[in-house]
Amino acid sequence: MALVVSSEYGSDTLTAAEYQQQMKFAMQRVPPNQRSGSQMQQMHQQVVRQTVSRHVLQGEARRSDIDVDSAQIESQLQGIQSRYENREAFLDQLAQNNITVDSLRRYIALQLRQQQIQQRMAQTAEAPTPDEVQSYSQENRRISAQHILIRAGENAPQAKVDSARQAAAALVDSAQMEGVDFAALARRHSEGPSAQRGGDLGFFSRDRMVEPFAEAAYALSDSGDVAPEPVRTRFGFHVIRLTNAGEPLDTTKARQQMMQQRRRDAVDSEMNALMEKVTVRANPSIVTAGLYEESGPASS
């Protein structure tokens, strides 16, 4: 046995074979050269969390006694069968996995009940106010900018960091001079991949840039403004010039995005609260990530 999960809903188990199979699936999504110790630990954590999440959702589904439309079950069953050349191939695949059509129906019904539970959780999300929508619309607009990068990585010697900072500061002064050609400065001095484009980064949203860069770029108000100080990121020092302040996000789209995120947050919040009440007992010889003691709360 790899895991024993228990709560007010009862107990569920995950055998060593099942756990190893789920780890195999998780590992398939990560190239072998990226499977560091921390990455492997995250995969173990993911498998354990998925097991606890499934336990909670199944428990809530049983307790809520949710009815599932049989027509919807049959529709999904037919959808799965349609992936195969014919019914015989479909049945052969089920047999190879020790699954019957009836057990697949029960699994589909359980999945639909779990989806309904999550939909109920999502419905607790509060709608944003008009002011919140306006603020989100402004903060999540797409802008465009140019930059000059003077490289100094996170582990660069202090002398290299100081030199890069001084060079970037001098370029800030040059870029702020009236009539200066920022693109020419970038082509001459930038050490980034956009140098040949005059430092042009095109349009981007806040989440596409590392935080210090995004914060500095979005703080600029008018096209042509240059950030008053070099901006340090893990790549080095950036001289940033805003080329288009952008237009606020359409309020209808902003409201939709906010509600989608709030629904996800509502589900996560309620799931976390339920999962905190679950106790996980893990076999340390199988669950090797060192994330869980032999017994303890699921949130530990």
Domains defined for the chain, CATH in brackets: 3-123+257-297 (1.10.4030), 142-244 (3.10.50.40)
- The CA angle 29-34-39, to the nearest 5 degrees, is 75
| pLDDT-based confidence at residue 298 (cuts at 50, 70, 90) | very low
Give the pLDDT band of residue 299 (cuts 50, 70, 90): very low
Share of the chain above pLDDT 70, in %: 95
CB neighbour list of residue 58: distance below 8 Å, 6 or more residues apart: 9, 12, 110, 114
Give the bridge partners for 242, in sequence order: 145
Query: Residues 145-150: what's their mean pLDDT?
Result: 98
Question: Average per-residue pLDDT in the chain?
Answer: 90
Identify whether the C-beta of residue 243 lies closer than 8 Å to the C-beta of residue 146: yes
Average pLDDT of 41-64? Answer: 89
pLDDT band at 23 (very low <50, low <70, confident <90, very high): confident
The pLDDT score that the predictor gives to residue 101 is 94
Give the Å distances, CA to CA, from 292 to 15, 64, 215, 281: 17, 30, 37, 8
CB 110 within 8 A of CB 58: yes
- Distance from C-alpha of 159 to C-alpha of 165, rounded to nearest angstrom: 10
- In contact, 257 and 128? CB cutoff 8 Å: no
Nearest of 144, 142, 140 to residue 254 by alpha carbon: 140
User: Virtual CA dihedral for 210, 216, 217, 218, nearest 10 degrees?
Assistant: 100
